[in-house]
Amino acid sequence: MKIGVLGPQGTYSEKAALRWCKSMPEARREAGLVYFKDFDEVLRAVESGEVDQGVVPVENSLEGAVTAVMDLLLHLDVVILGEVNLPVRHCLVGRGEGEIKIILSHPQALAQCRQYLRRNFPGVEIRTTGSTSHAAHLAQEFPEMAAIAGESTARDFGLQILAREVQDESDNITRFVVAGRGIPDASGRDKTSLVVYLQRDRPGALFSILQEFAKRQINLTRIESRPSRKGIGDYYFYIDLEGHVNDAIVKEALSEITKKASMVKMLGSYPKSKIDALQ
């Protein structure tokens, strides 16, 4: 089995993929990781069959949705097979040989450490990179650079830990999804993700959709809007709910929603993740 992740080695996506591998049946745990330069490449490799699965982040407890991934899940022919909730503990890492003039990291990591950077490095240039591990690689080469990355990434690149726990809140968790092809069977502890598109000129349209879940006591764990790019005020609604698409009550609700919405796309129906302690 091949699993696509954001590269190079040492990214949080890699950590999430390794946790996912541990949850697999023993015969399939020795999956090979394939590294890509961005999330678009990861998911397109899943769609084309170049890899069997891809692990990408969809939301962070501090910064919210990873919008690029949400848009890709809508438009590509892949489904969510599972999820991994990964606690994220950022460190400031570098060679520690002089004054820090530049701090680099992935945009999501920098955003999760925004207040720390503002307080402690107000005059330092902040640059974005394709991944936290790419930032660590650059910090390895230049003494005036430091990176926001994980502790294990610092070890991999031979860097010093200049500061620990630099994220703005200690309870920092990123939710990753595992994309593939085909919906897994119900486990009894499932989540279903879908996208609903409504006609803009229908008053009460969103309420009528949510009402179908409420009257069947289906719990919604997430609802988020994304612009349709068709005009101001026109949105796709991303919904996560408890239950499997093959559960009778969920199937009934989705049947009614399909009658009311302009478009309903099933993103996946899969076992819910438990939050693992970071090792």
Told to judge if 132 belongs to the known catalytic residues of this protein, a careful annotator would answer no
Q: Are 17 and 55 in contact (CB under 8 A)?
A: yes
Distance, in Å, from the CA atom of 264 to the CA atom of 71, rounded to the nearest integer, reads 15
Q: Are 179 and 78 in contact (CB under 8 A)?
A: yes
69-76 CB contacts, 8 Å cutoff, 24+ apart: 69/39, 69/43, 69/177, 70/224, 70/226, 70/238, 71/226, 72/39, 72/40, 72/43, 73/43, 73/177, 73/179, 73/195, 73/267, 74/195, 74/226, 74/236, 74/265, 74/267, 76/43, 76/44, 76/46, 76/47
Told to judge if 221 belongs to the known catalytic residues of this protein, a careful annotator would answer no
- CA 211 vs CA 4, 201, 204, 238: distances in Å: 38, 19, 10, 16
Here the tokens at position 210 are 């949510």
| CA 277 to the chain's CA centroid | 18
The one catalytic residue in 174, 192, 213, 237 is 174
Distance, in Å, from the CA atom of 170 to the CA atom of 258, rounded to the nearest integer, reads 41
Q: Are 54 and 33 in contact (CB under 8 A)?
A: no
Residue 195 has phi, psi (to 5 degrees) of -120, 135
The one catalytic residue in 36, 39, 157, 176 is 176
Half-sphere exposure of 99 (CA within 13 A, CB side): 5
Residues noted as catalytic: 174, 176
